Amino acid sequence: MGDTMQHSLTLDPARRPWFWRPGWIVFVSSGCIMTLELVAGRIIAPQVGVSLYTWTSVIGVILAGMSLGNYLGGRLADRYASLGLLGVMLLLGGLASLGVLVLARLPVLDLVAWPLIAEIFLLITLLFFVPAMILGTISPIVVKLAIPDMARAGRTVGRLSAAGTAGSILGTFATGFWLISWFGTHTVIWGVAAVLLVMGAFFLFADHRVAGKMALALVLLLSAGVVRLGLTQGPCLMETRYFCVKIQDDTRDGRPVRRLILDRLVHSYNSLEDPTHLVYHYEQTYAELTAYQATQVDVARPDPSLRTLFIGGGGYTFPRYVEAVYPESAIDVVEIDPGVTEVAYAFMGLARDSGIVTHNEDARLFLARTVSVKYDLIFGDAFDDFSVPYHLTTQEFNERVRAWLEHDGLYIVNVVDGGAAHFLRAYVRTLRLTFAHVYVVPNVPTWRTISRDTFIVVAADVPLDLSAFGRQSRLVGRVLSPSEVDVLLADGRPLILTDRYAPVEQLLAPVYLGRTD
């Protein structure tokens, strides 16, 4: 390597090997960076979820690493620009990418008890800062080697910058649209590492009679180690377009259930034998509201059966319940992720011949259509504490929901917030612009003193007859009185969520930080 390190390509064009293609080198290395950036959000999702804060941290850390790498790469290029240096940096980039698979298996967050935002930043920095920094050195080195004379410097730099941008675009599209869903995040990272290791071996051993053999031997050796250690096997049963999916068997209330985990959130507990067994308290409140609404259905209409729409399917726990308890009901589910629906069929007890009709699309697009049916119940179950699709929280969306509801229909939404209740407050105030009556049902009476609780929010144009609920009703025992709702809304600024302004992640920041203020 010592002889190679002494020869700059700008000084000795005759030594340029057949694989010296500056544009392609920058194209591939830039594509690798963007692939790692997209994969970063998915590989940390099982530990910290996916949110605006996650992607903000990913983009910031990757850019910081690239920036430092560009600076260091420029300094190295001015002093040591050579095929050998390029090979070393490509090899180090491959090893650093491979290191992500090792570090991702370590219980890093078990060693700290920080607010979630700090944990997100720590985890992303540990995993991806060094690979981004090393890959950031590639472009300056290639530019230095590729400029034959200063008279053509602008043209060369422009061409290489364009090649790098094109590589970033391809890496982004290929990873987001195909690679993750085809191979999974861990295999994609190993693919990035393998590409960089092969390129590094070619340039480090620039004699083409040796380079190919060395590259092949290196990749085969590391591949054997990666497979033996199981580094390409992530924690997910499968990775869909949106989630890392895990399935676990569990016991609740002394009965066997199956647990569905999407990213870091336990989404559903399903009894495969008894679809009427509901584990979550909010689902039990759903059951009370459904029973109430079933008695309110206008028997004079042509079709007096219960008509329900679910925004979010997940494990299909409550749609299965409705089908079992109200077999004549019409049940539509809008689940954006077809992979989750398939998981529900394969593992969560949803029968292939079920009467439940699934629409795999965004709920906003589904409800934007011309109204074709009026629902007695619309359930909103697409929110959690760290991932709230803001476009399903706005006044404009609420108007579409109301358009699809019967005049006495109920819109029932599961919301997560804490004692600060910034998001809950804005959401309830926004619903009040569309619906005449809005009810708030905390899961626990001490919700003001905790950082995270589940709330049921019920919106309707016809008031609930609370006297119709039994004495053991969870809803009646916890529903906030009108005066308590007024006190809730009086705190903080009077924020309305609209398509133009819906800062839901910022409103949920206290939940991330574990605060009640």
DSSP string, 329-392: -EEEEE-S-HHHHHHHHHHS---TT-S-EEE-S-HHHHHTSPP---EEEEEE----SS---GGG
pLDDT of residue 493: 83
Which has the closest alpha carbon to 414: 268, 274, 296, 252? 268
- Tell whether the model's pLDDT for residue 3 goes beyond 80: no
- Tell whether the model's pLDDT for residue 289 goes beyond 90: yes
Q: Which domains does the chain have, with CATH numbers?
A: 2-233 (1.20.1250), 280-513 (3.40.50.150)
Query: If DSSP codes are grouped into helix, strand and coil, which group holds residue 407?
Result: strand
- On whether the CB atoms of residues 205 and 66 are closer than 8 A, the answer is no
- Tell whether the model's pLDDT for residue 412 goes beyond 90: yes
Spatial distance between the Cα atoms of 35 and 170, rounded to a whole number of angstroms: 9
pLDDT, one tens digit per residue, over 456-467 is 999 999 999 999
Q: State mean pLDDT over 107-129.
A: 87
What are the structure tokens assigned to 298, written together? 């206008």
pLDDT of residue 2: 42
Q: State mean pLDDT over 108-136.
A: 90
pLDDT, one tens digit per residue, over 471-501 is 788 898 899 999 999 999 998 888 999 999 9
Helix (H) or strand (E) holding 142: helix 138-146
- Tell whether the model's pLDDT for residue 442 goes beyond 60: yes
Q: How many CA atoms lie within 13 A of 412 on its CB side?
A: 27
Write phi, then psi, for 104 (nearest 5 degrees). Answer: -65, -20
Better pLDDT: 318 or 6: 318
Better pLDDT: 372 or 223: 372
pLDDT of residue 149: 57
Write phi, then psi, for 334 (nearest 5 degrees). Answer: -105, 105
- Tell whether the model's pLDDT for residue 8 goes beyond 50: no
pLDDT of residue 208: 61
Bridge partner list, 333: 310, 358
Q: State mean pLDDT over 393-397.
A: 98
Q: State mean pLDDT over 439-452.
A: 92
Q: State mean pLDDT over 256-275.
A: 94
Which pLDDT band, with edges at 50, 70 and 90, does 9 fall under? very low
Q: State mean pLDDT over 403-421.
A: 95
Q: How many CB atoms lie within 10 A of CB 68?
A: 17
- Tell whether the model's pLDDT for residue 130 goes beyond 60: yes
Query: If DSSP codes are grouped into helix, strand and coil, which group holds residue 393?
Result: coil
Q: How many CA atoms lie within 13 A of 404 on its CB side?
A: 25
pLDDT of residue 299: 67
pLDDT, one tens digit per residue, over 141-185 is 999 998 865 567 888 899 999 999 999 999 999 999 999 888 889
- Tell whether the model's pLDDT for residue 16 goes beyond 90: no
Q: State mean pLDDT over 438-455.
A: 92
pLDDT of residue 13: 59
Which pLDDT band, with edges at 50, 70 and 90, does 230 fall under? confident
Q: State mean pLDDT over 275-298.
A: 93
- On whether the CB atoms of residues 510 and 516 are closer than 8 A, the answer is yes
- On whether the CB atoms of residues 205 and 214 are closer than 8 A, the answer is yes
- Tell whether the model's pLDDT for residue 4 goes beyond 60: no
Task: Report CA 373 to chain centroid distance, whole Å.
Answer: 32
Which has the closest alpha carbon to 430: 513, 503, 362? 503
pLDDT, one tens digit per residue, over 58-108 is 999 999 999 999 999 999 999 999 888 999 999 999 999 999 999 998 888
Highest mean pLDDT among 15-29, 133-147, 295-309: 133-147
pLDDT of residue 111: 78
pLDDT of residue 271: 97
**Can you tell me which residue has the tokens 């390409």?**
232
Quote the mean pLDDT of the chain. Answer: 90
pLDDT of residue 379: 98
- Tell whether the model's pLDDT for residue 288 goes beyond 60: yes
pLDDT of residue 219: 75
106 CB-near residues (< 8 Å, 6+ apart)? none
- Region of poorest pLDDT, from 52-66, 106-120, 180-194: 106-120
